[in-house]
Amino acid sequence: MRILVTGGAGFIGSHFIRTALSTAYAGLEGAEIVVLDALTYAGNRANLDPVADSPRLRFVEGDILDVDLVDSLVGEADAVVHFAAESHVDRSITGARDFVMTNVVGTQTLLDAALRRNLGRFVHVSTDEVYGSIDEGSWPETHPLEPNSPYAASKASSDLIARSYARTHHLDVLVTRCSNNYGPYQFPEKVIPLFVTNLIDGGTVPLYGDGLNVRDWLHVDDHCHGIALVLAGGRGGEVYNIGGGTELTNKELTEMLLEKTGADWSRVVPVEDRKGHDRRYSVDISKISAELGYEPRVPFGTGLSDTVAWYRENRAWWEPLKSRAALAR
């Protein structure tokens, strides 16, 4: 089996690849993986260093908007796992065009190639942010899409395009929607690595608004395990939520990170709330649990401690990235 993984040099995609090639997911044993990544500011070849020598890995630097390249690579694949996306909400607020081009047009480019090449299976990796905000309870996969940021709107658009190819063309497309990921190798503009690296360097951290926005936290290993289950055994045309089962306010998360880095609240700087900031996310994972046996396996306390330790021990990985991210703004 040959799998084309888009965005495979990013945080989540690289974890999927490292795990697939080193310990293997059930049903994907021996799979060959071709990575397509444009290596924009958040893409990093070093994320694949642990498996760089694998004879089952091939890396292609390129853009999912490149029709000819995409067509060629999809034509060689049995399945596509589509991670590639612009994903930082704040960046989408100040400049939405790249998000529309990559997330919407890029996804459509891949789907067109999949249709032309009679691809076997296409897994489109999305986000819970497409649902909007929920005061209580949890979203099932059937909940209407009500995105509130340009990023979320671009992902919702790509979800609907993927759904249309499944319905119109009977293409074997599946969509996954995850909650907030954390873990090693996450680009340090995201909240957990940003806070951890700032705090261990003696700096301050920004806390939006009143700090009471709620997120469900999902370790990247659990997320990728869920994606592998969907790839191997999900029903074509379906959507699967993947959650972590740990809901925290941003203030509670900040308290935990302060404790784990030996810092106190004097290092927290309240800042004006983000425009359109969703109050609470919560996904219902009963569907993927019942159909595919998924349950989150990494306890949040353990996962967070391990993540903090990883950033302490890997300054050479993240320090240049923080400088690069600052220059890219």
CB neighbours of residue 211 within 10 Å: 16
- The predicted pLDDT at position 326 comes to 61
Q: 59, 35 in Cβ contact below 8 A?
A: yes
Strand runs labelled E in the chain = 2-6, 32-37, 57-61, 79-82, 121-127, 173-178, 180-182, 205-208, 214-219, 239-242, 246-249, 268-271
Measured distance CA(25)–CA(38) in Å, rounded: 26
DSSP assignment letter at 145 = P
Whether 11 and 187 have beta carbons less than 8 Å apart is answered as yes
Q: pLDDT (tens digit, 9 = 90+) per residue, 4-36?
A: 999 999 999 999 999 999 987 988 999 999 999
pLDDT reported for residue 89: 72
| DSSP label of 104 | I
pLDDT of residue 329: 40
pLDDT in tens, 255-277: 999 999 999 999 999 998 777 78
Alpha-carbon span 69 to 19, nearest angstrom: 26
pLDDT recorded at residue 123: 98
Judged by DSSP in three states, 314 sits in coil
pLDDT of residue 325: 60
Could you give the 3-state DSSP secondary structure of residue 269? strand
Mean per-residue pLDDT of the chain: 94
> Averaged in consecutive runs of 10 residues, what is the pLDDT profile of the chain (329 residues)?
96 97 88 95 90 97 98 98 83 79 96 98 97 96 94 96 97 98 95 96 94 96 98 98 97 98 96 84 97 97 98 95 62
Residues 82 and 107: beta-carbon distance below 8 Å: yes
Please identify every residue annotated as catalytic.
128-129, 151
Structural domains in the chain? Answer: 2-182+217-242 (3.40.50.720), 191-215+246-277+298-322 (3.90.25.10)
Please give the helix or strand (H or E) that residue 91 lies within, else none: helix 89-94
**Alpha carbon distance 161, 167 (integer Å):** 10
Q: At what angle do helices 191-200 and 250-261 cross, to 10 degrees?
A: 30
At residue 292's C-alpha, the angle toward residues 141 and 79, to 5°, is: 85
Q: What is the pLDDT of residue 90?
A: 67
